[in-house]
Each structure stands twice: as C-alpha cells, then as structure tokens.
A and B are shown apart, each in its own frame.
Chain A
Amino acid sequence: MQVFLDLMWFFRQHKTRYITGIILLIMVALLSLIPPRIVGLVINALTHHELTHAMLYRDLFIILVTALATYGIRYLWRIMLFGGAIQLATELRTKLYDHFTIMSPEFYHHKRTGDLMAHSTNDVQAIQETASEGVLTLVDSIVTGSVVITTMAFLNWKLTVVSLLPMPIMAFAVTRYGKMLHDRFYLAQAAFSDINDRVQEYVSGIRVIRAFGQENWERKNFITLSRDVVNKSVAVARIDSLFDPTISIIVGLSYFLSIAIGAIFVVHGTLNLGNLTTFTLYLGQLIWPMLAFGFLFNIVERGRASYERVESLLSVSPTITDKKGAKEQVPSGAITYAIRQFSYPGTAHVVLKDISLVIEQGHTLGIVGRTGSGKTTLLRLLLREFDLKPEEGDIVIGGVSIQDVTLSALRSSIAYAPQDAFIFSQSVLDNIAFANPKASREDIVKAAYQAGVLEDIEQFPNGFETIIGERGTNLSGGQKQRISIARSLLQQAEILLLDDTLSAVDARTETHILDQIKNVRQGRTTIIATHRLRTVEHADQIIVLENGTIVEQGTHEYLWSLGGRYWDMYRRQQLETQVERGGVEV
C-alpha cells in the first residue's frame, strides 16, 4: 500500500477529484442495495397477494430510477478516478521529460535511450493502473467488505468472528505474495528495458548490421533478451496465479467454519436455519471484496515497483546546475581559460592540462591538434556540458566566471555546431531555425546561404520544406554539417563554436563559409576546432593541442616561424596539396 503514500502528493493535488470520486463510489454501493430490497418487497407482496398495479409500477419505477442514477454516477466516478489516473500518467511523463531536459551529458553517457523510453511508457502505464484500478479496488473492497461484514455482524456477531478467522492467513499470504511480486516485477520491467534498448540500437544501426551480416548474431541476442523477458514474466506469473486460488481456499475455509459452527449454533438453538442460510449468502457477497483485496495487492506492488524505477530516475540530479545567486546577465567580452587540469567525471585520464588562454572579444581562435588531443573538451567546457571543479580551474567571459551566470544566460551567448551534426526529423527550415523558431524565412535563407548549403537545399524535392532526419531525406555528412552551421549562424550569438564542423565540406565551400563568417561576425568571437590547418590560417590566434596541453600558441605566421609542431603539420598538409597538384605539374 506504500505506493499510495508515494502517490499522496498527487492525490492531495487533486483532493476534490478523489474525494468526489470516493463519495460517488460509496453512493453506488448504497444504491446497489435498493433493487434487491425492492425485489424482496415485490415478492413479499406477491406471496401475500397484496400486489396492486400502482404498487408494481411504483416499485418498477424506483428500480428504473435507481438504475439510471447508478449509470450516471458510475460514469462520473470513472471520470473522476480513472480520469485522475490518466492525468497522473500524463504528469509523470511530463515530469520525466522535464527531468531529461535538465540532465547533463554525463547522464546520457550512462543511460540508454531504450531504457529511458521504457520508463516513460511501460512504467508510467503500471503506475496509472495502480492509481485507477488500485484506488477503485481499495475503496470498493473496503466499502463493500465493511457493508457486508456489518450486516453479517447484525445477523450473528459470533459467527461473523468465526467466519473471519481465516482472514489473517489471507492477509499474511497476500502480503507475502505482494512482496515477491514486487521484486519479480521489478526485474521483469528491467528486462523489458533491456530489450527496448536492444531493439532501439538495432533499428538505429540497421545498416551496419546488414553490411556486416550480423543478422543471426543480433537475432541470437534478441532471442536471449526476449527469453529473459519471458522468464522473468513467468516468474511474475507464478506469483500472479497464486492470488485468486489462495483467496478461494480462504473463502472455502470461511464457508466451512461458518457452516460447521453455525450448525452447532442451530443445534443449540442460538441461530435459526433461515438466518444461517442468509449468513452464507452474505458470505458469498464477501468473495468479491476478498478477491479484490488480492487483486489490489497485486496491482499495488506492480505500481510500487514501477514507481521506484521512475523515482530512482527522477532522483538523479543534474551535475550541471545554476549556482545559487547565478546572474541572468548574458556574459560578454574576452574569454579566459585558466585550467590546471581536467578529467571527465569518473575517469582518471587527464584530458586537459595547464591551459592558459585569452581570446579577445571579436577575435577568432583556431584550435588544431590530433584526434583525442582535447579540442572538443575545450569547447564543451565553455558550454558547461561539464563543470570544472574549483581546484581544476575556471573559464571567464568578460571578467565573470561562466559558473557565476545561469546556464541559460551562458548558452544564449554561445552558438555551437558540434562534431556530429544532429538533425531533427523536421523540415530543413525547422532544423535551421531550431534555436530561433521565430526567425523569418528571409533570415533562414540567408543563414543557409552563409553556410553554403542553400544550393543543396534548393535541389531537395521540397526545398526548405523537405523533411530531413531520421525519417526524411538522407543527407550527406557535409550537408548535415552545413545545416548545423546554418543553424548556429542564425543564432547570431556573440560566441560561435565550430567543432570540426567543416571536416566533410569541400574546400571551395569551406572558403565560402569562412568568408561569410568573417563578414557577418564582425566584432564577435569565433572558435574553430579543426584538423585542417588551412581552415584557421587567418585566425587571430591559433593553439596547437597535444595530449591536452597547448604546445604552441600564436598567429599562423608566428607558429610557422617557430618551425615546430605547427610547421610540421602544415608542411605535411602542404605536401599533400602539392601531391595533388603533381597531377598537373603546377
């Protein structure tokens, strides 16, 4: 029953709804006592030949009115209680989704999409059942049960006590089953999550699986997981199937005891036979509330298991949050990196070390270095995807630490085009306007032009209205990158981060994009991480990263003159170009 306490916050919020619903339920229980009573009256009148037309029609009318009233009330309590449960499910899903939107990247490195989705659908569903059927059964079994027991007690309280003797056994058994069910159901839900994960990944990676002929392997994995779900569900079913039969044994015992003891009472003359018969009839009416009681435990334990899963997910707090007293003011000005050392949470590997760097407002910084040298980390730290601990260092924009402003303020000053351009299943237009949904079409087209993707878009079947992404037109890597650049340019933020976003763009388009950036971003800061030195040749400042440290720093000319790492890389890339030119012997 603990889950009802867990859900109390919701019941409190919807107090009127639930109280009304419960009152309506009680009214139905009371109304349902009327027709049998009327039937009894009619039969009595018939027996004594006292029935008149008027009486008959009056009685029938009462039944009719009761029936219609019951119909209306039944409908209403459903709206109240079941409607409440649907509301609860909706709110829980919203809660989960909201929670997902504040979780830091670290969370997404550990959790898998399929699992998170299973929480939002399957578990929420189980909780909804608890809040609807569970509440109904609880109220119903208590109301009906107490009405019946009270009537029985009026008939013969001693016999009532006797007939209720087996109840503690039932309570014990049902509680025990409930606990077992809870644990097993928890495992079953987790298994369901696993299979969700697998299918999710399978569908996403279908091309790789086909290309590598891994269908059988995947099938084996799937069958194993699906088997696991079945096994764990069978474990649940084993407990499931114990509830009703156990209760029917208890009911059988109750009958047995009341008849046996009742017979003794009859023999001793303390009870007449008619009353014993009536008593057993009432006992029969107790079967339903008892079964309901078992059902209640069943459903409640499932709900509790699911609620625990949802709660444990909701209880993970985001690692990156606004500091207390963080300012709303959008940071602006020179960017200063002062990092002693940084490793990703939970890892020992030092990703960045001794980074000391100032980027003047309006300047362009080029970050070059090999794969894994820490380029992306520098950008992600600026975006506060991860936070530097005080002892690790700090990043300051215009004299204010990025941790002293709100995340929202910080991010509104930064436009970011990440390494993997993420494309949403929307139109090209919506994708470019992702950060500025209210942008005018004109601005969007302009951004597309600046990002060198306008011509491509115009060739799409529906131009800017073409649906791209997961279920739309497949884009090439370069097109995705350029749409992502257009998206970030449209933001017109003070700081622009391009994380190797030009890698799949050809040289001509790259030059176009860089020229455009230079033109439209006068006085604003741009940071470009890249493999291709040519991309950042004209930057105000270039840093060369190696194993997380800056090994060289300065302008292109300066770095060139050093004859070190940069020179080396530059020569290598130049050679490459020369090799290309070798074709025409320029």
Chain B
Amino acid sequence: MILAQEQSLSPTNSSGTFRRLLGYLGPYRSKLILAFVILLAATATDVVQPLLIKVFIDRYLIPRYFPRTILAELAAVYLGLVILTAVLNVVQLLLFEILALNIIQQLRIELFDKAQQIALSFFDNTPVGVVVSRITNDTQSILEMFMTVLSTFVQNITVLTGILIAMFALNTRIALDCLLLIPIILGVMTLYRKASAPIFHVARQQLALLNAKLNESLQGMAIVQAMRQESRMRHEFGQINNAYKRARFRNMQLNGILLRPLNDVIYSLTLIFVLWYFGLASFSHAVNIGVLYAFVTYLSRFFEPVNNMMQRLNFFQQAMVSAERVFQILDHEEMAPQTIGHSAAQITRGEVVFDDVSFSYDGRHDILKHISFTAHPGQTVAIVGHTGSGKSSIINLLMRFYPVERGKILIDGTDLRMISSHELRRKVGLVLQEPFLFYGDITSNIRLGNQFVSDEDVVKAARFVQAESFIRRLSGEYHAPIGERGATLSTGQRQLLSFARTMAMNPVILALDEATASVDTETENAIQNALAQMRHGRTTIAIAHRLSTVQDADLILVLHHGEIVERGTHQELLAREGLYYKMYLLQQGQSA
C-alpha cells in the first residue's frame, strides 16, 4: 500500500517544477544578481591572466626588452589579479551557498507550515518515515541544485558563448556547422532528462520506503526481538535496500551511457569532422594552419563547459524529482479546518450543541448521521457504542480535526467554524486514547509550549491527577528525562502525564476519548475523583467503553452505526430496556 501510494507520484511536468523552484529565488533577486555579477567578474579576471602572460612573452621576452618598473607593475597586476580572482570566487561561492541554504530553510519552513495546516487524514494515510523523508531528505537534494547547478550553468553558458563568438571570428562556415552541436547536445540532455526521470522517481520511492521500513522497525524493535523476527525483518529490509541499490545502479548506468562519456564521443566526432573538413580542403587549396590549430583548441575548450553542465545534470534531475515530491505536499488540497472570519467569540460557559451533524471521511459512507444533542455548561455527556459506531468522530469534529460540512456545532452559541484556533485549543482540552509523550522531561511534557503554565501549575496539575507520587519517585522528579515516546514509563504513568497535560491548560470543555482504559483501578479511581472535581463548571464530552465510568453522566448517548439510537440518563436508559440495557447486562453478566 505504501508502494501504491508512492507510485501515484508519477513524473509530472518538469519544466513547471523547475520554474516553480526558480520562483524561490524571487526574494533574493538582488543578492542573486550580485552573486552572478561577481561570478562573471571572477570569470573575467581569470581569463585576463593568460593574456598578461602573452603580453609579457610577446612584448618583452621575445624582444628581450626588460624595463624594470613596467615588468614589476605587470607582475604586480598579475599577482593582484590572481588574488582578486580568488577573493571574488570565495565571495561568489559563499554567496551562492548561503543563498541556497536560505532558500532551503524557507522551503522547509513552508513545508512545515503546510504540514501544520494539512488535513489529519493525510497523516493517517502517510507513513511517518515518508513525511520525514520529504521534509528533510528531499529538501536536502534540492539544496544542491541552488548551490551549484545554477551557477555552473550560468558560468559555463557564458564561457560557451565566448568560445562560439571566437569560433565565428575564425571561420564562419565551419563555425556554422559547429552550431549544429548545440541541438545535438541539447538533444542528449533532453534524452537524459526523459530517461532519468522515471529512474530517479523509482530511486526516491525506494528511499522513502526504506525510511518507512526503518522507522517502523526502530519503533517496533522490542516486539520484533521478543518474537524473534529479526532475521525476517533483516530480510525484508534487505529487499528494499536491494531495490534501492538497483535503482541507484540503473541511474549510475544511465549517467555512464549518456553524460560525460557520450559527451566525449561527440567531441571526438566533431574533431574528426573538423580535421576531415580541413583535410579535404587542403587537397584542393591551401588551408590556414593557424586557424585549424585555433579551432581545434577552441573545440576542446568548448566541450569543457558542456561537460561541466552535463555533470550537474545528474544533480539537477535529482533535485527536480525531489522538488516534485515536496510540491506534492505543498499542493495537497485537503486542509485542516480553518477559522472563518475574525470572531472574537470566547468560550466561557462551555455549552456544546451538535445540531443535525452528519459526517463522512471519504464522502461516501456516513460515519455520523444527524447527530443532535446539547451539553449544557457543566454537564457531562457520555457517548457509548461499539467500535466503529462513530464515537471518536464526534470528538474529532468537536476538536475541529475534521471540518463540519453538514449540520452545525455551536459552542456558547458560536459556530465552531468561527471560533479562533487559539481560543478553541486553549479552552477545549483533549485526552487521547493513547498518550503521546515527547522527548524531553516531565515538566516539558505537561507544559508543552504553553509559557503561561508556570512550574507551579505543572506541579498542581500533576497533583490533581495524582501523578505526583510516581513523579517524585523518579530521579530528577519533575525534570526526570523522558525518552522518545516515553519509553521509560509504564502505560499508566504515561496516561497520568497526559491527563496532567490537559489539566494544566485548565480547559472549559473536556473531551475524553476512552482515556480511562489502561490505568489501574486505584489510579483510575483517583482520576475519576479528579475528573469529578474538574467537571464542576466544566462541560465534558466523554467516550467510554466501560459503562461504569459513565453512570453519573447527565446525558448518555448510545451510538449505533453513526446514529443516536438512545439517549437519556443511566436510569432512564436502563428503564427503557433497549440497546444500552443490553450492553449493560452483557458487561454485568460477566462479573455476576
């Protein structure tokens, strides 16, 4: 399936991609021009040096004329030019490199910003390794293109033009013939681009797969080892690794067939043509040996810049493929819901109203159908139902992870869509089914980036969910380090920390998603107590598996295939002897 997804990245319009990449140069136009001017200046000072030597030989050495001051000046100018060239080149190279790095920085931030706004479904469907690969590896290979490819092309095209002009000055007829080389070389370049694009695509795909596999293996290594599947995993990784190798190998073969080696063959053929031309001419009339000599020299000079450019074509193509992959994320159209308008509405009371809300993830199957309910300020609304009944979707909509398209959700009378993100995130606290901890320490995990949460608040929140006792037992206490994903803590401890994190925000509305599933009874009791306290003055929307946790809810919604089939308090629902009653009996039956 990853493969299928990766393959959907068919090679697209590469000139469009290139133009779009060049667009990133826009803001740096003046710097870019400066860099090019310095580059040309450096090329010029470089070209002048041999001329000075020629002047010395022709004017002074051959006539054995050695005026001291003039020679000293000449020497000084020469050495000065050598140093000037070097300095200009340092500046030029540095300018290009810094320019490139800044562009990549900008591109990375743009990508990251896009990732922030992209719909969650994208992340549900794309392996972490693939996303990471795009944000870091792909941008890295675009770097190369801004760093060297552009300057190489500009510089060499300049040199090329100079050589062509010189050739025309020497012999228009044969120079015109040599012009034919340009379409041939361009043809080879185009052929290379066409032929290499799919290969590069495959290579990039394989790399992304490699990353995805690596990522998953590293995270699931404990289970791989416990189940002794190391050798199988190695084998599977080996297969992807080999596929990647083959792709790289094909790429290398293509480079060998079409780039430098072919360029040299073209050079040799041109050389043969020129010699043949002059040779044949010599049979009918005398030819100018000097012109022939100069022509041959220029010809070899002509192919050096071509070679340079060909060499870069490889990087260019790689950058294009990476750029396409990056742009694909940037162009992803499905966005996370954004705030409409600039409403200053605040969430103060915490009234939540679902008004005839229907929802579908894929646009075909409705996961929620005509959901309507009201949670008055301070009330607890519990949602029960089997897996797949749509419970989590209610929370997903309330958290604005997905857009409300049909029906309305109102918080304190304001349409959810109009509430600012800041207000929503600040006032609606979520406890996820699975606690996710970040690399850092206890405090940073409770506080996250919320600077308004003081150290005291952190301790208070931890105490509130009764996480304090275990935190105090850790070495470092509130600054005890937490490894990636909190691997050093038990599930229960992680759960407690994620509670504390929510409590530290002091939200007006609580959204609990099966949060109480994996904590021991004692801790759970403590949390139930804490939650009960929290509920004073807070609206709570809770999803629960176990009916025991929802009995004191003000309203229980029984969800079945996306519809509310029953609603009421625990007592009312039992009295109805409907679905809820059956679920209740089923759960009770076991412990009877």
Cβ < 8 Å to B, chain A residues 234-248: 234, 237-238, 240-242, 244-246, 248
Given A97-B237, A192-B136, A212 contacting B61 (CB threshold 8 A): no
Give the residue name and chain of the A residue nearest to B433 (CB).
Answer: A477
In the complex, identify which listed stretch (B156-164, B165-173, B217-225, B409-417) lies at the interface while the others stay far away: B217-225
Contact mask B534-555 → A, CB, 8 Å, 1/0? Answer: 0000000000011110010000
Query: Which one of B289, B433, B473 has the highest number of Cβ atoms from chain A below 10 Å of its Cβ?
Result: B433
Given A98-B234, A371-B493, A210 contacting B120 (CB threshold 8 A): yes
Kindly identify which residue among B125, B207, B221, B545 contacts A471, using a CB–CB cutoff of 8 Å.
B125
Kindly identify which residue among A83, A420, A569 contacts B521, using a CB–CB cutoff of 8 Å.
A569
A120 proximity list for chain B (CB < 8 A): 210, 214
Cβ < 8 Å to A, chain B residues 548-589: 548, 551, 570-571, 574, 584, 586-589
Q: How far is the CB of A572 from chain B (nearest CB, A)?
A: 7
Q: Report the bound CA distance from A478 to B544 in whole Å.
A: 12
Q: Report the bound CA distance from A203 to B128 in whole Å.
A: 6
Cβ < 8 Å to A, chain B residues 100-140: 101-102, 104-105, 108-109, 112-113, 115-116, 120, 123-129, 131-133, 135-137, 140
> Is residue A326 within 8 Å, beta carbon to beta carbon, of the partner chain?
no
Kindly identify which residue among B1, B212, B221, B424 contacts A472, using a CB–CB cutoff of 8 Å.
B1
Contact mask A93-137 → B, CB, 8 Å, 1/0? Answer: 110011011110100111011101110111000000000000000
Kindly identify which residue among B53, B83, B439 contacts A197, using a CB–CB cutoff of 8 Å.
B439
Give the residue name and chain of the A residue nearest to B221 (CB).
Answer: A108
Give the residue name and chain of the A residue nearest to B137 (CB).
Answer: A121
> Is residue A222 within 8 Å, beta carbon to beta carbon, of the partner chain?
yes
B210 proximity list for chain A (CB < 8 A): 93, 120-121
Q: How far is the CB of B106 from chain A (nearest CB, A)?
A: 10
Q: Are A64 and B272 neighbours in the complex by a CB distance under 8 Å?
A: yes
Q: Report the bound CA distance from A576 to B265 in whole Å.
A: 87
> Is residue A78 within 8 Å, beta carbon to beta carbon, of the partner chain?
yes
Kindly identify which residue among A46, A109, A263, A580 contacts B488, using a CB–CB cutoff of 8 Å.
A109
A221 proximity list for chain B (CB < 8 A): 449
Contact mask A246-266 → B, CB, 8 Å, 1/0? Answer: 101100110110011001001
Cβ < 8 Å to B, chain A residues 1-45: 35, 39, 42-43
> Is residue A476 within 8 Å, beta carbon to beta carbon, of the partner chain?
yes
Q: Report the bound CA distance from A218 to B255 in whole Å.
A: 41
Q: How far is the CB of A174 from chain B (nearest CB, A)?
A: 14
Q: Are B230 and A504 neighbours in the complex by a CB distance under 8 Å?
A: no
A112 proximity list for chain B (CB < 8 A): 439, 483-484
In the complex, identify which listed stretch (B24-32, B85-93, B193-201) lies at the interface while the others stay far away: B85-93
Given A212-B425, A471-B125, A108 contacting B449 (CB threshold 8 A): no
> Is residue B179 within 8 Å, beta carbon to beta carbon, of the partner chain?
no
Q: Report the bound CA distance from A66 to B521 in whole Å.
A: 84
Cβ < 8 Å to A, chain B residues 357-385: none
Number of interface residues of A (CB under 8 A): 171
Q: Report the bound CA distance from A64 to B576 in whole Å.
A: 96
Contact mask A189-231 → B, CB, 8 Å, 1/0? Answer: 0001001110111111111101111111111111100110110
> Is residue A492 within 8 Å, beta carbon to beta carbon, of the partner chain?
no
Q: Report the bound CA distance from A101 to B436 in whole Å.
A: 24
In the complex, identify which listed stretch (A149-157, A303-311, A396-404, A507-515) lies at the interface while the others stay far away: A507-515
Query: Which one of A369, A500, A583 has the highest number of Cβ atoms from chain B below 10 Å of its Cβ?
Result: A583
In the complex, identify which listed stretch (B181-189, B244-252, B319-327, B347-355) lies at the interface while the others stay far away: B244-252
Q: Are A277 and B289 neighbours in the complex by a CB distance under 8 Å?
A: no
> Is residue A503 within 8 Å, beta carbon to beta carbon, of the partner chain?
yes
> Is residue B492 within 8 Å, beta carbon to beta carbon, of the partner chain?
yes
Give the residue name and chain of the A residue nearest to B427 (CB).
Answer: A213
> Is residue B70 within 8 Å, beta carbon to beta carbon, of the partner chain?
no
Q: Are B517 and A237 neighbours in the complex by a CB distance under 8 Å?
A: no
In the complex, identify which listed stretch (A354-362, A411-419, A439-447) lies at the interface while the others stay far away: A411-419
Subset of 25 A-B contacts with CB under 8 Å = A60-B276, A67-B269, A75-B253, A89-B245, A90-B244, A100-B221, A108-B221, A112-B484, A121-B210, A200-B215, A208-B432, A210-B120, A215-B421, A218-B449, A226-B112, A244-B89, A244-B93, A245-B89, A349-B473, A407-B225, A408-B228, A422-B223, A478-B387, A572-B521, A583-B571
3 closest residue pairs by CB, A with B: A213-B425, A217-B449, A252-B82
